[in-house]
Amino acid sequence: VPELPEVETIRSRLAPAMAGRCLMRVAILDSRLTRPEPPHSIAGELRGQHVSDVSRRGKYLVVRFESGLHLLVHLRMTGTLLHVPHGARSVDPYRRAVVTLDDGSDVVYRDVRRFGTWQLVRKEELDAFWSGRLGPEPLGPAFTSARLADALSGRRAPIKSVVLDQRMVAGLGNIYADEALWRARLHPLRAAGTLAPEEVARLLRAVRSSLSAGIERQGATLRDYRDPTGAPGRMQEALRVYGRTGEPCPRCGTPIEKIHVGGRGTWYCPRCQKPGS
């Protein structure tokens, strides 16, 4: 499942390929991608648009056009974007959309499970769109210990569930949440409101370092994730706890355990991450 580091890797590869280009042809092959809007109307609006840049907000990829229109792509479970020579991958059964650029190359959206979304938002609607959905960018200056402490205060929910809430901080998913809690030595079931100030500061640094590690290794390929050239990431080799049931904790050697928190599989070290207060 693509999280911030995977989407950021895709962004960094797609941006140079798309910036300054015109969308010559747009074929949306799956109506689930754009619903409730009909695919032909989204395709019609995209056709002829000139790309200014490709950015990211949380787990959304944002293609900004000179017209002020923004295409927000959310990859959800299994979405991927590939940049390929024109006509490549035309027999792929999971191909859901194809955008042909004016240099003749194709940007292909593929999605096995079809939960991904494409939405068009105008410049003047963008702030309102984000403000209801996303908290601060974890790698940006707005994500501070004071702000995080404020957001956690009084919360009785497990810290793992709280950091997965995109309105708390944008871009964390199951993998990097577990990695961050291990780095911060915090038990995933710890009530969020009980964190002491130094634990909040540790959590903030841990969120940043686990995401940065993921970006450095071009994301984690556990199943479907690929970058736009089709290459897998390397973060899966550097995960400390996620998916490592029974393997030794890299810090203390204690076997990693798996529990469920809010319905999500959760890995942690029972020695480094004590239940606490």
**In the bound complex, what is the minimum distance in angstroms from residue 270's beta carbon to Zn ion?**
8
Tokens for 53? 């840049």
Judged by CB under 5 A, the stretch of 71-79, 84-92, 237-245, 268-276 that binds Zn ion is 268-276
Nearer to Zn ion by Cβ, of 229 and 245: the residue is 245
Least Å distance, CB 272 to Zn ion, is 3
Q: Which residue has the tokens 């450095």?
A: 216
251 is catalytic: no
181 binds Zn ion (CB under 5 A): no
- By CB under 5 A, name the one of 251, 258, 264, 276 that touches Zn ion: 251
Q: Tokens for 274?
A: 């004590």
Q: Can residue 75 be called a binding residue for Zn ion (CB under 5 A)?
A: no
Residue listed under structure tokens 């950091």: 163
Contact with Zn ion (CB under 5 A): which of 150, 252, 255, 274? 252
Q: Rounded to an integer, what is the distance from CA 130 to the centroid of its chain? A: 15
Nearer to Zn ion, 182 or 225 (CB): 182
Q: Does 235 bind Zn ion (CB under 5 A)?
A: no
Candidates 13, 59, 64, 160; catalytic one = 59
**Interaction between residue 241 and Zn ion (CB under 5 A):** no
**271 touches Zn ion by CB under 5 A:** yes
Contacts of 45 (CB under 8 A, 6+ apart): 69, 120
Q: What does the block give as tokens for 104?
A: 């003749």
Closest CA to 61 of 108, 143, 6: 6
From the list 3, 6, 8, 179, the catalytic residue is: 3
- Of the candidates 76, 208, 234, 264, the residue annotated as catalytic is 264
Which position among 7, 28, 172, 249 is part of the footprint of Zn ion (CB under 5 A)? 249
Q: Is 269 in the site for Zn ion (CB under 5 A)?
A: yes
Number of residues that bind Zn ion (CB under 5 A): 7
Q: Write out 81-150 in H/E/C secondary structure.
A: EEEECCCCCCCCCCEEEEEEECCCCEEEEEECCCCCEEEEEEHHHHHHHHHCCCCCCCCCCCCCHHHHHH
- Stretch of residues binding Zn ion (CB under 5 A), selected from 94-102, 103-111, 218-226, 243-251: 243-251
- Under the criterion CB under 5 A, does residue 231 sit at the interface with Zn ion? no
Query: Which C-beta is closer to Zn ion: that of 65 or that of 268?
Result: 268
Tokens of 24: 């010559």
Nearest to 163 by CA among 197, 224, 208: 208
The one catalytic residue in 2, 136, 138, 158 is: 2
Residue 221 and residue 233 in contact, taking contact as beta carbons nearer than 8 Å: yes
CB of 247 to Zn ion, least distance (A): 11
Nearer to Zn ion, 193 or 270 (CB): 270
How far is CA 11 from its chain centroid? 11
- Minimal distance in Å, beta carbon 256 to Zn ion? 8
Structure tokens at 234: 């390397």
> In this structure, are residues 206 and 184 in contact, taking their beta carbons and an 8 Å threshold?
yes
The candidate with the shortest Cα–Cα distance to 52, out of 4, 83, 19, is 19
196 in contact with Zn ion (CB under 5 A): no
List residues binding Zn ion (CB under 5 A): 249, 251-252, 254, 269, 271-272
Annotated catalytic sites, by residue? 2-3, 59, 264
